Amino acid sequence: MPGLNEISPAHLMRLIGTPDCPVLIDVRLREDIADAPRFVPTSVCLPHTDLPRIHNHITQQNRSDRAVIICQKGKKLSFGVASWLRNLGVTAEVLSGGQFAWEAENLPQVPQSILQSTTSLWVTRHRPKIDRIACPWLIRRFVDPTAQFLFVPPAEVEAVAEKFAATAFDMPDGEWSHRGDLCTFDTMISRFGLAHTALDRLAQVVRAADTNRHDLSPQAAGLLAISTGLSRQYKDDTSQLQAGLPIYDALYRWARDAFAEGHDWPQSTGEK
């Protein structure tokens, strides 16, 4: 059981992927990261000795005043940083058991090599529908909450990626794109090491809607209808993205907690 000012891996995993996720700070030593070059989703690696930088990162997130500190075992480094942050008014907790405990529960971890091969700026084709809204949602909620997205004409994607040091996605023959019957959302889940039951369930809905294979998921038709409706409602792609994020927040909570729930009008008992 987690102690005072601690949070369990299972509890933290329920917060990751939601708008209520705290800011996650990984303060493991360099040699500890070399031994396990993987990160809890959305965590950012900062030295435990650079306390002002840690505090500045948390305050710049504009998501919450809550933070979770992660070290290798959930001991001195985490407790020291968390205590210091609480002195500054941050609601700071320690991941109970640290990275070791997270790995022991076989929870998703993002490979360091993949993080180093991408940037916080992504670019794709304009006029998004499904994959190009779902993928930014996935990145913002599970990889990099600060990520920004550019939507440009298809012919300009590669050039914009080169000139602005951005990562191109959902482009034919691109590194971050469809693979066989799988869509870009599937590719990102796999490469970022994010596979778990709820995201896999959501991925099936996205794949079915994005590849027009509604037999894979009865929810696909609804997602297609909402997505095409949003694309008609917004002329600006960034505004459309912002409007679409809460839709995927809701779909994720459905996939995690409510996928077996039905709904019907109560039957009359015949009583008057």
Q: Based on the domain organization, do 164 and 107 belong to the same domain?
A: no
Is residue 88 helix, strand or coil? coil
Q: Is residue 266 part of a domain?
A: no
Q: Based on the domain organization, do 16 and 91 belong to the same domain?
A: yes
Q: Are strands 110-111 and 38-39 parallel, antiparallel or unpaired?
A: antiparallel
Q: Is residue 123 part of a domain?
A: yes
Q: What pLDDT does residue 68 have?
A: 98
How many CB atoms lie under 10 A from the CB of residue 103?
15
Q: What pLDDT does residue 269 have?
A: 63
**Tokens standing for 108?**
């998703």
Q: What pLDDT does residue 113 have?
A: 97
Q: Cα–Cα distance between 134 and 35 in angstroms, integer?
A: 33
Kindly report the CATH number assigned to the domain that includes residue 26. 3.40.250.10
Cα atoms found within 13 Å of the Cα of residue 100, Cβ hemisphere only: 8
Q: What pLDDT does residue 271 have?
A: 56
Q: Based on the domain organization, do 132 and 100 belong to the same domain?
A: no
Q: Based on the domain organization, do 151 and 99 belong to the same domain?
A: no
Q: What pLDDT does residue 2 have?
A: 81
Mean pLDDT by 10 residues, the chain (272 residues): 91 97 97 98 97 94 84 98 96 98 98 96 98 98 97 98 98 95 98 98 98 96 97 97 98 97 80 54
Q: Based on the domain organization, do 43 and 155 belong to the same domain?
A: no
